[in-house]
Amino acid sequence: MRFLRSRLSVRVMSRLALAAASVCAVPLASVAAQDSVASRIGQYMQALTTFGRFSGSVLVARDGHAIVQAGYGQADVEWDIPSGPETEFRIGSMTKQFTAMAILILQDRGKLRLSDPICRYVPRCPPAWGPVTIQELLLHTAGIPDYTDVPGFERTQSVPATPEQLVARFRDRPLRFRPGSRFEYSNAGYVLLGIIIERASGLSYERFLHDAILAPLGLTHTGVDHQALILPRRARGYAREGATLRNAPPIDPSVAYSAGALYSTVGDLLVWDEALYAGHLVSRAALEEMFTAHHGPIGYGWAIDSLFGRRMAHHNGEISGFVSNIARFPDQHVLVVVLSNREGTAVDNITRDLAAIVFGERYEMPHERRIVTLTPATLDRYVGTYRITSDIRLSLRRDGDRLRGRLSGGDTTSFILAPESETHFTSDTPPVDLLFALDPDGRVRNVTVNGSFTGVPEH
C-alpha cells in the first residue's frame, strides 16, 4: 500500500535518489551570497513547475532564517488557487517525528520508559507482542506487520476508523520476525505508539500533541487532520492517470492516525526544526537519542544519513494526493522542506538538489524531456535483471512499445520507463534515471541508476 508509506533512505527509492550524482556543476564561490542562492533556488523551482514536475511549497533555511519560502503551482486546480508559503498540506509519515517526540516527552515526565513492554499499555495485547518494547516500535524493529499492506486496504481507506479498529486489522497476524532482530518499516508500530501515548497521558493523541508540542511552539498551522475540518488554506491532493490529472482517491485521516494524520506548512516546520535545536520540549539526552542511529540508519521518527559528506536527518511522507520531505543538516544548521499536493513528485531529488544549491554542490537543472520511439528489438536488448547492490535488483521487461521496471526491496509497484535516447530511460514516478552502457556488439555491459549506482546484468 502506497498512501502511508515513507520513502526513508533505507528504503530502496530514497537510497537511490538521495545518493544520485548530478550533472550541473555550480562552484561554491558563485553561490556564496544568500541572494544568489535564493535566485538559483527560484530558477530551479520555476523550471520544475514549468515542466509540470512540481506543485506545492518549499522552504530552505540557514541558521533559522528562510532563504526561500515560497509556493509553486496550484493548491486547488479547480478553483485555480495558487500554492503559497502558508498553504496547508497533509504530511503523511512526517507525522512520525511528532509521535516520536510525544513518546520522549512522556519518558521525560516519568510516564513511561522506552524499555517498557508495549503490552503494559496496549489493551488486549496478543501474547506474540509480549517481548516487544516501545523502543522497537520507534525503530521499526518490532516485527509487527504493516496494516496498510493488508489486501483490500484501499477499499476501506475512506471509511473512518478508531485506533482500536485499526489495531484489530493486524492484532492476529503473526510477527514478521523476532522483535529487535531487523528493520522493516511499519505504520502499525506507530499506530500502537499513538495508543501508548493516550494510555500513558490520559489524553487523546490529538489533545496530547496539541498541549505538549503544537501549542507550546506556536504551531498554529499544524494539527491532526479530520475529513470534516475546515482549513482556510488547505491544498487539495491530486494524482495522475497517464497524462491526466485527477483528484486523488479519498482517505480518511483517522485511518492514518499517529502514523500519518498531520497537516502542516513549511513555515511551521521551520519553527519545529528550530525547537529541536533549542531543546524546548525534551532533555538534551532525549534529543540526542532521537537523532542517533540505533538500528542501521534509523533514529526515532527520523532516518539518520548523510548527503554531500554532511550529516543529515530526514523523513518523507506519502498519503493519498500528497508527498513531502524534510531534511535537516545539523552541523550547517540548514533545513530543506518540500511539500507537494501531487502524488509521484520526486521530493527526494528536489530535496537533494536544493541542498546542493545551498552547499555549492553539483545538481541537475530541470529540462524538458524529449521522448523518442524505439523498436521492440531495441527494447528487448534491455530486458532482464540487474544487480544494483547486494540487496537491490532492477528487473526490466518489455510492455508493448515501452519498458516496465521493478526494484526489489522497495514498493512492489512497477513503473513505466520513457526512452529519451536509445540508451537513456527515465521515470518520474518513482524518480528513476537509467543510462545503459553497451559493448561494441550491442550487448548491455552495465546500467547506471540515478547517476550513482551501477548495476550489472545477471545471467
Enumerate the domain spans of the chain.
376-457
Please provide residue 389's backbone torsions phi and psi, each rounded to the nearest 5 degrees. Answer: -135, -175
Q: Residue 16: which pLDDT band, with cuts at 50, 70 and 90?
A: low
Bridge partner residues of 405 (DSSP): 396, 415
Q: Are 341 and 54 in contact (CB under 8 A)?
A: no
Q: Please give the Cα distance from 458 to 228 (Å, whole number).
A: 52
Which tops the pLDDT comparison, 30 or 177? Answer: 177
Mean pLDDT of 38-62: 96
Q: Residue 342 pLDDT more than 90? A: yes
Per-residue pLDDT at 307: 93
Closest by Cα among 354, 352, 358, 363 to 31: 358
Q: Residue 295: which pLDDT band, with cuts at 50, 70 and 90?
A: confident
Per-residue pLDDT at 401: 83
Which tops the pLDDT comparison, 407 or 21? Answer: 407
Q: How many CB atoms lie within 10 A of CB 48?
A: 22
Radius of gyration, CA atoms only, the chain = 22
Mean pLDDT of 380-389: 92
For the ranges 8-22, 94-108, 261-275, 387-401, the lowest mean pLDDT is seen at 8-22
Closest by Cα among 19, 33, 15 to 360: 33
Per-residue pLDDT at 452: 65
Q: Residue 34 pLDDT more than 90? A: no
Q: Which strand (E) or helix (H) includes residue 305?
A: strand 303-307
Q: Are 341 and 321 in contact (CB under 8 A)?
A: yes
Q: Residue 20 pLDDT more than 70? A: no
First-residue to last-residue Cα distance in the chain? 31
Q: Residue 427: which pLDDT band, with cuts at 50, 70 and 90?
A: confident
Per-residue pLDDT at 454: 85
Per-residue pLDDT at 429: 67
Q: 400: which residues sit within 8 A by CB, 6+ positions away? A: none
Q: Are 388 and 449 in contact (CB under 8 A)?
A: yes
Joined together, the cell numbers standing for residue 293 give 542511529
Q: Are 340 and 347 in contact (CB under 8 A)?
A: yes
The predicted-structure confidence for 75-134, as pLDDT tens digits, reads as follows 999 999 999 999 999 999 999 999 999 999 999 999 999 999 999 999 999 999 999 999
Q: Please give the Cα distance from 179 to 384 (Å, whole number).
A: 36
Joined together, the cell numbers standing for residue 330 give 545539523
Per-residue pLDDT at 379: 96
Residue with cell 526544526: 273
Bridge partner residues of 127 (DSSP): none
Mean pLDDT of 144-173: 93
Closest by Cα among 304, 297, 321 to 237: 321
% of the chain exceeding 90 in pLDDT: 76
Q: Please give the Cα distance from 205 to 300 (Å, whole number).
A: 18
Beta strands in 341-458 (DSSP E): 384-389, 392-399, 402-407, 415-419, 424-427, 432-438, 444-449, 453-457
The DSSP secondary-structure symbol of 146 reads P
For the ranges 73-82, 156-165, 212-221, 237-246, the lowest mean pLDDT is seen at 237-246
Q: Residue 17 pLDDT more than 70? A: no
Mean pLDDT of 369-392: 90
Joined together, the cell numbers standing for residue 274 give 528550530
Indicate the pairing of strand 56-62 with strand 65-72.
antiparallel
Q: How many CB atoms lie within 10 A of CB 124?
A: 9
Q: 404: which residues sit within 8 A by CB, 6+ positions away? A: 396, 397, 398, 414, 415, 416, 417
What pTM was estimated for this model as a whole?
A: 0.86
Mean pLDDT of 438-448: 92
Per-residue pLDDT at 29: 38
Q: Are 407 and 393 in contact (CB under 8 A)?
A: yes
Residue with cell 496494516: 147
Q: Residue 10: which pLDDT band, with cuts at 50, 70 and 90?
A: very low
Q: How far is CA 140 from the centre of its chain?
A: 15
Per-residue pLDDT at 388: 87
Per-residue pLDDT at 243: 72
Q: Please give the Cα distance from 417 to 358 (Å, whole number).
A: 31
Per-residue pLDDT at 305: 92
Give the dihedral sign, CA 171/175/178/181: negative
For residue 135, CA distances in Å to 11, 97, 113, 291 come to 20, 14, 9, 13
* Domain with residues 376-457, CATH architecture: Beta Barrel (2.40)
Per-residue pLDDT at 33: 56
